[in-house]
Amino acid sequence: MTRDEPSHDHDHAGGSAELYFEHGFGQAISGLTVRVTAGSKSFSGATDAQGLLPTLHLHSPDTPAAYNHGNWVVSGKAPVRVSIEVKKGDGSWKNIGAFNLEDGQRKRVTVSANSTASPMPLALHGAA
């Protein structure tokens, strides 16, 4: 974990992904409004001071999708395709990429912005 706040120190069955947003020089982007969609469920929120969103956790299809203990819980059969969108200045959403949330894997997905064009364009790194 990269945060100094209390967190779960164990894996959840199914896998997880931490989404990190940065400028091209490794500086966190805070306050960026992001929407994450997995299947028919969408979550939206703003990145924190460390450039992070709540961690995504994959649970079995019979578990309801929810916000739980500071995390976003996605239900479905792995792999679950997750799309990432950012809110533009005019209020519309721009799809910037996607990745798979998979059983037994802990991922850190880094979204990097050119420092002169933040928050657009963004490039997705470390995602499958």
Q: pLDDT, tens digit, for every residue of 94-127?
A: 999 999 999 999 999 999 886 444 445 555 555 5
Read off the pLDDT of each residue in 86-98 and give the average, rounded to a whole number: 93
Structure confidence at residue 84 as a pLDDT band (50, 70, 90): very high
At 85, which amino acid appears?
E
* Mean pLDDT estimate for the chain: 81
Per-residue pLDDT reduced to its tens digit, 14-43: 899 999 999 877 899 999 999 999 988 899
DSSP state of 28: B
E strands within 1-128?
A: 16-23, 33-38, 41-46, 56-59, 66-68, 71-75, 80-87, 93-101, 106-113, 122-125
Better-predicted residue by pLDDT, 55 or 60: 55
CA–CA distance, 67 with 25 (Å, rounded to integer): 31
**pTM of the model as a whole:** 0.76
Q: What is the mean pLDDT of residues 71-89?
A: 92
The predicted model gives 50-73 an average pLDDT of 85
Q: Which residue has the higher pLDDT, 25 or 83?
A: 83
Q: The domain 16-125 belongs to what CATH superfamily?
A: Carboxypeptidase-like, regulatory domain (2.60.40.1120)
The pLDDT, as a whole number, for residue 26 is 81
Band (pLDDT 50/70/90 cuts) for residue 62 is confident
Dig out the tokens for 92 from the structure.
Answer: 């519309």
Please report the pLDDT score of residue 56 as a whole number: 93
